[in-house]
Amino acid sequence: MTAMAIDKPRGRAWWKELWIQVLIAMAAGIALGIANPELGARMQPLGDAFIKAIRMLIAPIIFCAVVHGIAHMADMARVGRVAVKAIVYFEVMTTIALIIGLVAVNVLKPGAGMNIDPASINASAVEPYVKQTAVIGFVPFLMNIVPATFIGAFAEGNILQVLFIAVLCGFALVQLGERAAPLVSLIDIAAKMVFAVVGFVMWAAPIGAFGAIAFTVGKFGVGSLASLGKLLGGFYLTCVIFIIVALGPVARLCGFSLLKLIRYIWEELLICIATTSSETVLPRMLTKLERAGCEKSVVGLVIPTGYSFNLDGTCLYLAAASVFLAQATNTPFGLAEQIELLLILLVTSKGAAGIAGAAFVVLAATLSATGTIPVTSVALVLGIHRLMSQGLTPTNLIGDAVATIAIAKWEGALDRERLKRVLNGEEPAPAAA
């Protein structure tokens, strides 16, 4: 899909850069939210419409990318090997994220001294989330990978279900051999068409960022969240620590600069922060990582899988929020309980793919599974969940980018010289998905 990328013309005006436009739009959204909170809150449809426009394209993009990648890999054993390596890497990194999250919240103690009585909490606001906890779990998660119908996976936009179908179709095309060549070419053309549509939709990214940020600031504000500011600040700090302590060494082992990678995907990170959705940049990440020297087939497998299994930021959020609620409600939560929480989170953090407000739903499910921390206490973080999402979402994205490069190197599918040139800015980055 390298041919889908469009190079930035040399000497392009600074104000035409997407990240500059998104940054200006975010600043305008913050200003509106502060100046006129009611009007700012009414800007939500702008952000939601942009997210919906991108999400409608996710299923065909994943299907085309994975099927095309496997068909050209022409080695089912290699596909399985890449998948196993990805799952092992994801499990190790999410475990590290959970441990860092637990250590940070125990050191910072953001909930200490709040002395919240669980009986005094109005739980009505979190009832819709608590009701969804029944669908979270390892067995339901595995069952949910298999769609009820072939078309149903695409209609629902379930990433794992589409990935499951795409892998099966890719294997089938490999087995058909030369007879499948016309269909593989057709899928390649369809992928180029969908990526062209993504390019059109991305023109609306600044508008979507403006609406999403204006809604967040207008609805929740800053003053009303002062009492939870310690949790919010501590969580952002924890995300930075994880990126430096956990992802930094991986980047060094793979021979690239993490800071340069972050600069390379800066536009995508800004869009994630504004919309609190990493799905909005999935098409661009597929293109950018392939452009950076990762083999197309590896990118097509690792990125979609990572969107469900490699949720580093989400794991940090779940660990921090769970212990925070125990501290805030004076619930005894010692080392044994926290080890149990870690084991539960290793399962529940993987069971939220395709669920709206996934991190918050999984938090409620986790508290329900522990049976120690009052489930209704999740209402305490409902107001700042979106603001915390603006920390966890870019962390997830950086984690997936590092994972893709690491697994590509592990598999011998990384052009290190190309990666170096791209990250150094010696080759232009793709200007559109």
DSSP annotation string for 1-43: -GGG--BPPTT--GGGSHHHHHHHHHHHHHHHHHH-HHHHHTT
Strand partners, 7: 430
Rg (CA), the chain: 21
| Terminal C-alpha separation, the chain | 10
Q: What is the 3-state secondary structure (H, E, C) of 153-203?
A: HHHHCCHHHHHHHHHHHHHHHHHHHHHHHHHHHHHHHHHHHHHHHHHHHHH
The pLDDT, as a whole number, for residue 355 is 46
Tokens read off for 208? 């979507």
Nearest to 390 by CA among 304, 292, 277, 310: 277
The pLDDT, as a whole number, for residue 401 is 95
| 408 Cβ contact partners less than 8 Å away, ≥ 6 residues apart | 293, 294, 295, 298, 299, 302, 414
In angstroms, rounded to a whole number, what is the distance separating the alpha carbons of residues 36 and 219? 10
The pLDDT, as a whole number, for residue 236 is 93
Low-confidence ranges of the chain (pLDDT < 70): 1-12, 14-16, 74-75, 120-141, 220-228, 350-358, 383, 428-433
The pLDDT, as a whole number, for residue 407 is 95
Nearest to 18 by CA among 287, 206, 276: 206
What domains can you pick out in the chain, each with its CATH number? 14-423 (1.10.3860.10)
Q: pLDDT tens-digit profile of 376-387?
A: 788 777 767 778
The pLDDT, as a whole number, for residue 264 is 94
The pLDDT, as a whole number, for residue 54 is 81
In angstroms, rounded to a whole number, what is the distance separating the alpha carbons of residues 345 and 363? 9
Q: pLDDT tens-digit profile of 210-267?
A: 988 888 788 766 554 555 678 888 999 999 999 999 999 999 999 999 999 999 999 8
In angstroms, rounded to a whole number, what is the distance separating the alpha carbons of residues 363 and 375? 9
Q: Identity (one letter) of the amino acid at 266?
A: W
Tokens read off for 223? 């003053």
Helix (H) or strand (E) holding 140: helix 138-145
Q: Name the burial class of residue 383, with classes exposed (0-12), middle (13-18) and buried (19+) by CB atoms within 10 angstroms of its CB.
A: middle
The pLDDT, as a whole number, for residue 130 is 57
The pLDDT, as a whole number, for residue 138 is 60
The pLDDT, as a whole number, for residue 221 is 67
